[in-house]
A and B are shown apart, each in its own frame.
Chain A
Amino acid sequence: MAQILDIKELKKKAVGIRKDVLKMLTMAGSGHTGGSLSIVEILIVLYYREMRNDPKAPKWPGRDRFLLSKGHACPALYAVLAEKGYFNKEDLWGLRKLGSKLQGHPQIGLAGIEISSGSLGQGLSIANGMALAARLDKSDTRIYCLMGDGETNEGQVWEAAMTASHYKLDSLCAIIDYNKLQIDGFCCEVKDMGAYLDKWKDFGWNVIETDGHDIEKLINAFDKAKTVKGIPTVIVAHTIKGKGVSFVENKVEWHGIAPKKEEYEKAVKELDEELKKI
């Protein structure tokens, strides 16, 4: 069941998760650093404050579902799941290795992983199906789906956005990791999506804009989303790609690479400093 920790503890957790993510990626020698670091607080708030879940019963039917549509950021999700006790923390260090359940992109079969993903743009449709099924079963299960901003270039996302509003799926809460970067550069330069929040509004969604690294603000946003009836909610969370490591932050080249050993050590030093300040 939801474990309630105070804000300070959650902030400390976030630092710990970032360290785990960097260690996993460094040991794997490949993977997506930037987009993993940008979603840490979102995951922490979901798993420690918002969602009904039970690591000891990962398939409990009444649980809330979290779908990581931007599958490439799975190191952060794996780290949070291990921290929650879904599986052994030792497993984290096998990321991307032959035979590991911690695949380079998430695959169901690992405790806590609700969908296989990695081909961008597919999660929100699955979330729609889950929300419709929950409604048929008269269950109050909530469905959360995290997407990248670049990911929302995909047409399927907007097909899904229309489905969610048409069916008034208020048990559905989408989250956008609004870090303004994708692979080829800044989102606005790769493909300018214009008035981004208005797009979601025009597609019939309740839009909440917040700071994706501010735990208190995130909690408020998720709490507010729960109270909105009759339409789906999207939380557009302003984030910094690579958050927490100075030389990774907001650097397009850090999208799909892992830290080298020296970089890892430098990063951990920075994060330990951060921890002292909390």
Chain B
Amino acid sequence: MSETKYKMIPTRDGFGHGLVELGKVNKDVVVLSADLTESTRANWFKKEFPDRFFGLGVAEQDMIGVAAGFALMGKTPFACTFGVFASGRAWDQIRVSVAYMNLNVKIVGTHGGISVGPDGATHQALEEISLMRILPNMTMIVPCDALEAKKATISAANHKGPVYIRLGRSGAPVITKEEDVFKIGKASLLKDGKDVTIFACGTMVYESLMACETLSKEGINARLINMHTPKPIDKDCIIKAAKETGAVVTAEEHTIAGGLGSAISEVLAENCPVPIKFVGVRDKFGQSGEPEELFEYFGLKAKNIVQAAKDAIAMKR
């Protein structure tokens, strides 16, 4: 992501802006944080609406329960911390106190993926999609840029029921436009094509965009779909794309075990089996390094998507 014509803004910033906007129009929005108020950008809301901000200290399990309590009283709580702690540390609390009761709790996990960089494996969440999409009633959103993150934040507040939003720490190219429509559960087509479909979410949407340029130079016309909502997944869009292009690549800054690729292959296996290649982290923890180096190390670059696309096409009969 070094040289790019796009503006670089972390998705967490888009969330922070969305939250402040929400605060102005929705008096029921309250924000909770587990001692990561600045890192999650919850501090922007806190500054504007101190009465509706609640710090819980380093206590993620309690924070999720507190959020459930707020929701039961008619509020719309956003509980914010790093993705590893939001999804993993408090998973049973999310399961029982949030998802089982189908409460209007919004969980925001920043610092998703290896783009966290130098902090290393304990802080690089690679499992949130898997952990959240297995929970009934849960909606899982992975915005691809700051603009989409802002729209996702506002949509999440207007959506009734539990939502998890996965965000990144580092600057990410802003590839969507203000006028682009964001709808939870409705995938967005970024580029049409007929040879192969690339489904991507989060940071990998940009890498996939770059991959499409390379592929097109080589005469391969790839379709690119931004799967910003791994759950509920846009089944119709997946089946249509598989039928029309006959080969699929999935790309995620996340473990491939249970992640976006798994969600898509579940749909395809039952409805329209086609060759599929996964780009993602394969049964590994992250490690320290600069985001750019880590994308290279874990095989999450545009060139890896290009290769996967060619491999998937070669598997067509």
Which A residues lie at the B interface, using CB under 8 A?
107-108, 114-119, 121-134, 136-137, 155-156, 159-160, 162-163, 166-167
Nearest CB of chain A from residue B144's CB, rounded to whole Å: 32
- Which listed residue, B71, B72, B92, touches A114 by the CB 8 Å rule? B72
Contacting residues, chain A, for B52 (C-beta < 8 A): 136
Interface set, chain B 23-66, CB cutoff 8 A to A: 30, 51-52, 54, 56-57, 59, 61-66
- Which listed residue, A116, A125, A127, A128, touches B100 by the CB 8 Å rule? A116
Contact A125 B70 (CB under 8 A): no
Interface set, chain B 81-129, CB cutoff 8 A to A: 92-93, 95-97, 100-101
A116-B101, A117-B96 known; A129 and B68 CB under 8 Å? yes
A129-B72, A134-B73, A136-B51 known; A118 and B96 CB under 8 Å? yes
Interface of A, secondary structure class, is: helix
Contact A162 B59 (CB under 8 A): yes
Contact B65 A122 (CB under 8 A): yes
A122-B93, A133-B74 known; A128 and B101 CB under 8 Å? no
Closest residue of chain B to A128 (Cβ to Cβ) is B66
Residue B67 interfacial (CB < 8 Å): yes
> Which 6 A-B pairs have CB atoms at the shortest separation, nearest pair first?
A129-B69, A125-B65, A133-B73, A159-B62, A159-B59, A129-B66
Given A122-B65, A130-B70: 4 more A-B contacts, CB < 8 Å = A124-B65, A125-B68, A126-B65, A162-B57
Q: List 5 interface pairs A-B (beta carbons < 8 Å), by A numbering.
A: A130-B73, A132-B66, A134-B73, A156-B93, A160-B65
A133-B73, A136-B52 known; A126 and B61 CB under 8 Å? no
Contact B96 A129 (CB under 8 A): no
| Bound-state Cα–Cα, A137 to B30, Å | 12
Residue B162 interfacial (CB < 8 Å): no
Residue B75 interfacial (CB < 8 Å): yes
Chain B 178-222, CB-CB to A under 8 Å as 1, else 0, gives 000000000000000000000000000000000000000000000
- Which listed residue, B54, B57, B72, B92, touches A130 by the CB 8 Å rule? B72
Contacting residues, chain B, for A137 (C-beta < 8 A): 73
Contact B101 A115 (CB under 8 A): yes
Closest residue of chain A to B100 (Cβ to Cβ) is A116
Nearest CB of chain B from residue A162's CB, rounded to whole Å: 7
Contact A122 B96 (CB under 8 A): yes
Contact B101 A127 (CB under 8 A): no
| Bound-state Cα–Cα, A126 to B97, Å | 8
| Bound-state Cα–Cα, A166 to B57, Å | 10
Residue B259 interfacial (CB < 8 Å): no
Nearest CB of chain A from residue B281's CB, rounded to whole Å: 30
Contact A125 B74 (CB under 8 A): no
Contacting residues, chain A, for B14 (C-beta < 8 A): none
Residue B77 interfacial (CB < 8 Å): yes
Contact A129 B77 (CB under 8 A): yes
| Bound-state Cα–Cα, A122 to B62, Å | 8
A115-B101, A133-B70, A156-B61 known; A125 and B75 CB under 8 Å? no
Chain A CB within 10 Å, residue with most, of B62, B64, B68, B93: B62
Closest residue of chain B to A108 (Cβ to Cβ) is B101
| Bound-state Cα–Cα, A121 to B51, Å | 28
Contact B62 A160 (CB under 8 A): yes
Nearest CB of chain B from residue A55's CB, rounded to whole Å: 19
Chain B CB within 10 Å, residue with most, of A119, A128, A134: A128
| Bound-state Cα–Cα, A134 to B30, Å | 13
Nearest CB of chain B from residue A42's CB, rounded to whole Å: 21
Contacting residues, chain B, for A127 (C-beta < 8 A): 69
Nearest CB of chain A from residue B309's CB, rounded to whole Å: 44
Contacting residues, chain B, for A129 (C-beta < 8 A): 65-73, 77
A116-B96, A119-B92 known; A126 and B72 CB under 8 Å? yes
Contacting residues, chain B, for A128 (C-beta < 8 A): 62, 65-66, 69
Contact B65 A156 (CB under 8 A): yes
Contacting residues, chain B, for A159 (C-beta < 8 A): 56-57, 59, 61-62
Closest residue of chain A to B67 (Cβ to Cβ) is A129
- Which listed residue, B62, B93, B100, B101, touches A163 by the CB 8 Å rule? B62
| Bound-state Cα–Cα, A119 to B94, Å | 11
Contact A126 B68 (CB under 8 A): yes
- Which listed residue, A119, A130, A134, touches B96 by the CB 8 Å rule? A119
Contacting residues, chain B, for A132 (C-beta < 8 A): 54, 66, 69-70
Chain B CB within 10 Å, residue with most, of A123, A130, A159: A159
Contacting residues, chain B, for A167 (C-beta < 8 A): 54
- Which listed residue, A116, A119, A156, touches B62 by the CB 8 Å rule? A156
Nearest CB of chain B from residue A172's CB, rounded to whole Å: 10
Closest residue of chain A to B34 (Cβ to Cβ) is A159
| Bound-state Cα–Cα, A121 to B201, Å | 35
Contacting residues, chain A, for B57 (C-beta < 8 A): 159, 162-163, 166
Nearest CB of chain A from residue B74's CB, rounded to whole Å: 7
